[in-house]
Amino acid sequence: MDWLALTTTPGELEENLQTFSTLKWYIIPLLLIVMFIVYWLLHKKEYSVVFGAAAFWLMDIFNETWNSIVYATTGSPVWGTTAAGGSSLQILIGYNIEISFMFIILGAVTCLMLKTSPVDPMARFMDGNKNWLSDPNNMFYKANVGRRNLSPEERKIKLKAVMGRVVPALVCSVLAVCIECLLNYAGLLTWDKSWWQRNVPYLIFLIGYCPFFFSAVIVHDLPRKWQIISVGGFTAFLFVLILTLGCIGMLGAQIPLNWPFLVS
């Protein structure tokens, strides 16, 4: 089968950017599934999971935003989706509504995989991860104590706590890269730069997914105050960034600039 026949040029894809004319009915049940998952997590008071999932999702939006800048300034994105995927809403050159829903769910699943200590049912909202520095299931266990001042047992607990976050993040990142390679092979995802291809997946791993999973597990383990500050601050930053870029036309249409260091 000719997989290249399934691809779409960036120029063709640009015609469907941010238009509701391509909306399909299946977007409604997808939205309801996401809403149900968020509601279920809030009902179960899994607030740290919600914050971690939000961090995961926001990091993806950041990546998709700079990818749009690359497209606007060089004429080709680092990655892009294709018409073969049949998206209901193409938001950015490499980002559609289905991807957005997927990353919200994936972020929540990632945080649910983490081993956590039982939460006091009487704990208040702001008490989340209150004992983060003394929780053996938190990656920041004894982070305020120098290694020399830790007992051998505490060192083992600290190592186990950190690896309990690092290993899942790395494994999930590798699996995500493998899935992206499959999508690229199937013609649903295009890679337009020579340094972002299946034969050199290192940047896809380091830039494309490690930041997503590590941001999710780090925010998940932060105390509630810092969860609010980190997610809220990043949201505000992205809002200003997207608003500014949208006003100058760098989220879709090409700008007649040529930056050699971004061109293949």
What is the tens place of the pLDDT at every residue in 30-47?
Answer: 999 999 999 999 999 999
Query: What is the domain partition of the chain in residue ranges?
Result: 16-116+125-262
pLDDT of res. 119: 84
pLDDT confidence bin for 158, thresholds 50/70/90: very high
Has residue 203 got a pLDDT over 50? yes
Residue-wise pLDDT tens digits, 45-90:
999 999 999 999 999 999 999 999 988 888 888 998 876 557 888 8
pLDDT of res. 85: 58
pLDDT confidence bin for 144, thresholds 50/70/90: very high
Of 1, 40, 249, 229, nearest in space to 126 by CA = 229
Whether 189 and 183 have beta carbons less than 8 Å apart is answered as: yes
Residue-wise pLDDT tens digits, 226-248:
999 999 999 999 999 999 998 88
Has residue 14 got a pLDDT over 70? no
pLDDT of res. 257: 44
Output the six-digit token pair for 15. Answer: 């015609």
pTM of the predicted protein model: 0.89
pLDDT of res. 84: 56
Has residue 260 got a pLDDT over 70? no
pLDDT of res. 106: 96
Strand partners, 200: 197
Percent of residues, the chain, with pLDDT higher than 70: 88
User: Which of 93 and 163 is assigned the larger pLDDT?
Assistant: 163
Residue-wise pLDDT tens digits, 167-201:
999 999 999 999 999 998 988 888 888 889 998 89
pLDDT of res. 16: 64
pLDDT of res. 7: 44
Has residue 5 got a pLDDT over 60? no
